[in-house]
Amino acid sequence: MQYRTMFNLDGRTALVVGAGSGIGQAAACGLAAFGAHVACADLKLADAETTVAQIRSEGGHAHALDLDMRDGAAIRTALTALDRVDILVCTPSINVRKPFLEISDDEFDRVINLNLRGTFLLLREVGKVMAAQGRGSIIVFSSIRAQVVEPGQSVYAATKAGVVQMVRTLAAELGQQGVRVNAIAPGVVETPLTAQIKNNPAWYQAYAEKGILKRWAQPDEMVGAVVYLAADASSYVTGSLLFVDGGWTAADGRFAPPL
């Protein structure tokens, strides 16, 4: 192992799905900074192109893809256009914050269709490509909600827990073919998905106080974990769930005892 180059991604192709904003955009820029050519995929092509422009302005290599991960045929078409895929980062998800008993059939289906079914389709198709190559690293964004919940998070939490189990299963099935599969569990991150909370000062501050670091994360604070799992630095890491949550799941946080 050449320790000075263990994070070097030169010559590798990364497909980042959800690269148009938030964590996906930060991940795409971070992977490019370490040498990867990044295919920036997003449902909103204009947003993906903005990310590409940012990467290129910093001397990196990237191109944009219009991709709906809920469409298996579209995923296969996108993969055909790439020579190879060494790294996959999957970030998109949606949430419906409502009491369990008030969630409609349509709302349930909408969350499941993207968060769980879409992730399954993406992992299945990219997994086939990487298995044929004999090499690859798949990184899926789960959430602290895979482990701990609160009122209003039932379907979202179920999908995030389900994603972790898919990651573990795929890791077990593709390990012999040189493919590693891992998940990252962020805590509270300032992204479009959490705008509802940020717009409520009391809610926003309560979440900040829950974590050990007493603040929210920025999207670029997820990049270190992404690059680590993408690179040779994590060559013996697979089937894992890496928490990047500011200590949210490590401490109760509801009451500080008078010690």
Residue 187 counted as domain residue: yes
Examine residue 258 and state whether it is found in any structural domain, yes or no: no
Candidates 201, 118, 208, 206; CA nearest to 163 is: 118
Classify residue 200: in a domain, yes or no.
no
pLDDT tens column, 113-170: 999 999 999 999 999 999 999 999 999 999 999 999 999 999 999 999 999 999 999 9
The torsion angle over the Cα atoms of residues 82, 85, 75 and 64, rounded to 10 degrees, is -60
Supply the pTM of this predicted model: 0.96
Residue identified by tokens 């990252």 is 184
Measured in whole angstroms, the distance separating CA 63 from the mean position of its chain's CA atoms is 19
DSSP state letters, 181-237: EEEEEE-SB-SGGGHHHHTSHHHHHHHHHHSTT-SPBPGGGGHHHHHHHHSGGGTT-
Closest to 44 (Cα-Cα) out of 27, 62, 22 = 22
> Which positions are annotated as active-site residues?
156
Domain with residue 56: its CATH number is 3.40.50.720
Residue 33's domain comprises 9-191+220-241
CA nearest neighbour of 138 among 85, 190, 189, 191:
85
The rounded distance, in Å, linking the Cα atoms of 148 and 138 is 24
Question: Each residue of 55-74: pLDDT tens digit?
Answer: 999 999 999 999 999 999 99
Residue 196 inside a domain? The answer is no
- Integer Cα distance of 39 and 30 in angstroms: 13
3-38 pLDDT, tens digit per residue, is 999 999 999 999 999 999 999 999 999 999 999 999
Per the structure, the count of domains in the chain is 1
In a domain, 16, yes or no: yes
Assigned domain for 208 exists: no
Give domain status of residue 248, yes or no: no
Angle, helix 154-174 to helix 119-133, in steps of 10 degrees: 10
Is the residue at 211 inside a domain? no
Give the H/E segment covering residue 107. Answer: helix 105-112
